Amino acid sequence: MATTYKTFSNNDIVSTKTLLNEAIPLTGTVVSGTYMEGTSEVNIKNYAHGMFQSVYDYPYLSSSANHIFDITFGYSANSACSSSTSAQNAKKINIYNQMAKVLVGHSSSGVIQEFDEDGDLTGGTKIQEAFFLNFARLLTKDEVKKGSFSVELGIEVGNSASFHKRIKLTDYNAQNDYRVNSPAGDYAVLYAETSYDGGDTIDGTAYSSRKFLVNERALGRVKCGLIYYQAGVAVLTSSLFAHASASTITGETATNGKGLLGEDYGGYKDSGVLKAMVAAHGYQPLLGPNIGPGGETVVTGDEGSNLYLRAMLTGSEISSSCNALRSRLYNISFNNTTELNSTIYFCRLNHNEFNYSSNPTYLNGSKIRIKNVAGDTPVAYVTGVGLYSSDNELMAVAKLSEPLKKDPTNELTLRVRLDY
Residue 306 has pLDDT above 50, yes or no: no
What pLDDT sits at residue 328?
A: 79
Tens digits of residue pLDDT in 88-98? 999 999 999 99
For the cut 90, the answer to whether the pLDDT of residue 372 exceeds it is no
Count Cβ atoms below 10 Å from residue 199 Cβ, excluding itself. Answer: 8
**Which of the four pLDDT bands, split at 50, 70 and 90, describes residue 377?**
confident
pLDDT of 162: 56
Given a contact cutoff of 8 angstroms between Cβ atoms, the answer to whether 272 and 214 are in contact is no
Give tens-digit pLDDT for 219-235: 456 788 999 999 999 99
Mean pLDDT of 108-115: 94
The percent of residues in the chain predicted with pLDDT above 70, rounded, is 69
**pLDDT beyond 50 at 281:** no
pLDDT for res 369: 64
The half-sphere exposure of 183 on its side-chain side, counting CA atoms within 13 A, is 12
CB of 111 closer than 8 Å to CB of 305: no
The more confidently predicted of residues 281 and 91 is: 91
- pLDDT category, 252, cuts 50, 70, 90? very low
Residues 6 or more apart whose CB falls under 8 angstroms from that of 373 comprise: none
d(CA 98, CA 64): 31
- Answer whether residue 303 shows pLDDT above 80: no
Mean pLDDT to the nearest integer, 136-159: 85
Looking at per-residue confidence, does 307 or 187 come out higher? 187
Q: Which amino acid is at 300?
A: T
State the number of CA atoms in the 13 A half-sphere of 267 facing the CB.
Answer: 7
| 247 pLDDT higher than 50 | no
Lowest-pLDDT range of 147-151, 213-217, 345-349, 360-364: 213-217
pLDDT confidence of residue 282: 31
Q: Are 276 and 156 in contact (CB under 8 A)?
A: yes
315-365 pLDDT, tens digit per residue, is 788 988 888 888 878 899 999 999 999 999 999 999 999 887 777 766 666
pTM of the model: 0.74
Mapping DSSP onto H, E and C, the string for the chain reads: CCCCCCCCCHHHEEEEEEEEEEEEEEEHHHHCCCCEECCEECCEEECCCCCCEEEECCCCCCCCCCEEEEEEEEECCCCCCCCCCCCCHHHHHHHHHHHHHHHCCECCCCCECCEECCCCCCCCCEECEEEEEEECHHHHECEECCCCCEEEEECCCCCHHHCCCEEEEECCCCCCCCECCCCCCCEEEEEEEEEECCCCEECCEEHHHCCCCCCCCCCCCEEEEEEECCCCEEEEEHHHHCCCCCCCHHHCCCCCCCCCCCCEECCEECCCCCCCCCCCCCCCCCCCCCECCCCCECCCCCHHHHCCHHHHHHHCCHHHHHHHHHHHEEEEEEEEEEEEEEEEEEEEECCCCCCCCCCHHHEECCEECCCCCCCCCCCEEEEEEEEECCCCCEEEEEEEEEEEEECCCCCEEEEEEEEC
pLDDT value of residue 351: 93
Distance CA 149, CA 28 (A): 15
Q: Is the dihedral of CA 64, 67, 71, 76 positive or negative?
A: positive
Q: Give the CA radius of gyration of the chain.
A: 31
Crossing angle (nearest 10°) for helices 89-103 and 318-328 = 60
260 C-beta neighbours (distance < 10 Å), count: 25
In the chain, where the domains are located: 19-338, 350-419
Q: What is the pLDDT of residue 396?
A: 93
pLDDT at residue 368 in the model: 63
**Mean pLDDT across the stretch 373-394?**
85
Whole-angstrom CA distances from 180 to 120, 174, 230 are 11, 12, 11
φ and ψ at 355, to 5 degrees? -95, 0
pLDDT digits (tens, 9 = 90+) for 34-84: 888 887 889 999 999 999 999 999 999 999 999 999 999 999 999 988 888
Per-residue model confidence (pLDDT) at position 92:
95
Q: Which of 305, 365, 338 is nearest to 230 (CA)?
A: 338
409 or 279, which is more confident: 409
Q: Are 71 and 319 in contact (CB under 8 A)?
A: no
Amino acid letter for position 276: A
What local confidence, expressed as pLDDT, does residue 295 receive? 41
pLDDT in the model for residue 42? 92
Q: How confident is the prediction for the chain on average, in pLDDT?
A: 77
Question: Using an 8 Å Cβ cutoff, are 78 and 71 in contact?
Answer: no
- 370 and 405 in contact (C-beta within 8 Å)? no
- Minimum mean pLDDT among 119-123, 164-168, 382-386: which range? 164-168
Q: Which residues pair with 195 in a beta bridge?
A: 167
What pLDDT sits at residue 36?
82
Does 153 score more than 50 pLDDT? yes
